[in-house]
A and B are shown apart, each in its own frame.
Chain A
Amino acid sequence: MDNLNLDQHISHRYNEELEDLRSRVLNMGGLVEQQVSSGLKALLELDSELGEAVFNSDFEINALEVEIDEACTEILARRQPAASDLRLVMTVIKAISDLERIGDEAEKFGKVAMRLSGTGSRPTYFSELRHLGEHVKSVLRDTLDAFARMDAEAALLTASRDDAIDREYNSLSRLLISHMMEDPREIKSVLEVFWCARALERIGDHANNICEYVVYLVKGKDIRHTSQQRKLESKRDQQ
């Protein structure tokens, strides 16, 4: 069923509760997007001050996760939601966990920025990291957009981009490993880049998870742990 009328309940208060839940998630998503963006900026420009700000802001995201979790529990207890309403609550519970993890990854950028800015030198492979970062930011933005619009097609399309992120990350890791083997003096600083690349790949995975939840929310179909081929088949089945 594509027509999710989440705001058409006879109970207005119930409408408001569900709408409030959605906006809180979007708010959290916005905050997380900002953290990823600022964290990457801090890292790539070796901006210690910005890095520290990112590091110190993570608690806001954590607090939102707790708050939204509680709101979900209350809705489950009081409303016994069914069908699409139930799927919305389940989706939110899962999505906020992934968003909180993305926040943690962004926090890492801040910490690395603070560490590296002291050294004065720009580590290698920053342009590759920047490129991967832009890719991941774009996927995250499209993921949150798909959730906001409850667009399963957009979510499936965005989910299909995770493979490209993984390939780019693998390619970058190979470069970094070769570099560390060639010049062991650089290992310490190259490892910092490595962990950041890994964090970006993890952000991509979390965004992928959220896309899968959106498909579940809209279509009622659980596509987690299915291959890309089967995801595309499921897309065709629904048409």
Chain B
Amino acid sequence: MTKPVETSTQDRNSQLLAEFKTTTGDVRVEDPKMRMDNVDVHYGDNQAIYGVDLDLGKNEVLAMIGPSGCGKSTFLRCMNRMNDTVDSCRVSGTFSLEGQDIYAPDQDVVLLRARIGMVFQKPNPFPKSIYDNVAYGPRIHGLASSKDELDHIVETSLKRASIWNEVKDRLDAPGTGLSGGQQQRLCIARTIAVSPEIILMDEPCSALDPIATASIEELIDELRQNFTIAIVTHSMQQAARVSQRTAYFHLGRLIELGDTNTIFTNPSHELTENYITGRFG
């Protein structure tokens, strides 16, 4: 009884994928923060991303959704060259951060990752104090010329990450001693302490309870004033809540990109519709 229904949607999806030529919707924005052109990614002989064009707009939250294995995390990691750490990974195409090619041979990758920070699925505070977690980045990048300046950066970052009040009296306590939600906010504070321009978030709330998730989502909304954010999420409701534009990936192709309201009320592509209505997971 179950099989025939699933097979027909899968058959239909395969057919739609075979017919896929170009992304539905506007991939371009005016004056983008980051422009990505004709991106292909291979892991060894396996192609993970196929010819993706995508612009990231200034001060927007772009959500990237799609079923497991669709390449959204792979694509996200290309945006600050985290895939450089994966031996078998080959990235082609261009990634321009306000006109600068981030894959240029003379690009300082450490500096790049300060400009384009990343928050991961599992909160990963350093085994250091709360203070040192946040101060680490500014220290190595020489962003503070005095202790007072460093204190100021740490306080501002923790405030912006909405965690200052909870930790201000125990900045020497280990970062790993915090709850999951607090750890994630600490990681966000750590990311913003080096004044990034873009924050990449790879399923930042997957390991958190609903209350911690809600506070991170609230934080994302506040952070948008000062940063540009790209977020990969498995939760469609989260994508619907936090983002202005949503990109749907399917087996390495960018199928559709559009205004979040439209994607969730009236998507144009059948593959997008099938995914977000739970006809295909």
A binds B: yes
Give 16 A-B pairs besides A12-B5, A83-B265, A83-B276 with Cβ atoms closer than 8 angstroms: A1-B268, A5-B274, A8-B5, A8-B9, A8-B274, A8-B279, A10-B6, A12-B2, A14-B278, A80-B237, A82-B277, A83-B264, A83-B273, A83-B277, A87-B265, A221-B266
Could you say which residues of chain A place their CB within 8 Å of the CB of B5? 7-8, 12
Specify which chain B residues have a CB less than 8 angstroms from the CB of A14 in the assembled complex: 278
Min CB distance B7 to A, Å, is 11
Residues of A within 8 A of B6 (CB): 10
**Do the beta carbons of A1 and B264 come within 8 Å of each other?**
no
Nearest CB of chain B from residue A148's CB, rounded to whole Å: 21
Chain B neighbourhood of A87, CB < 8 A? 265-266
How many Å from the CB of B277 to the closest CB on chain A? 5
> In this complex, what residue of B is CB-closest to A216?
B266
Q: Which of A45-83 contact B (CB under 8 A)?
A: 80-83
Cβ contacts A to B, 17 pairs, < 8 Å: A1-B270, A1-B273, A5-B274, A8-B8, A8-B279, A9-B277, A9-B279, A10-B279, A10-B280, A11-B278, A14-B278, A81-B277, A82-B236, A82-B264, A83-B265, A220-B265, A221-B266
Whole-angstrom distance between the Cβ of A45 and the nearest chain B Cβ = 47
Contact for B266 among A3, A7, A83, CB less than 8 A: A83
Given contacts A10-B6, A83-B273, contact A5 B265 (CB under 8 A): no
Q: Size band of the B side of the interface?
A: 20 to 34
Instruction: Indicate whether A189 reaches chain B with its CB closer than 8 angstroms.
Output: no
Main SS class of interface, B: helix
Instruction: Provide the residues of chain B in CB contact with A82, threshold 8 Å.
Output: 236, 240, 264-265, 276-277
Distance from B272 Cβ to chain A, minimum over Cβ atoms (Å): 8
Identity of the chain B residue whose Cβ is nearest the Cβ of A220 in the assembled complex: B266
A217: shortest Cβ distance to chain B, in Å?
Answer: 11
Tell me how far the C-beta of A91 lies from the nearest C-beta in chain B, rounded to whole angstroms: 12
Chain A residues with CB under 8 A of B279: 5, 8-10
A85 at the interface (CB under 8 A from B): yes
Which residues does chain B contribute within 8 Å of A8, judged by CB atoms? 5, 8-9, 274, 279
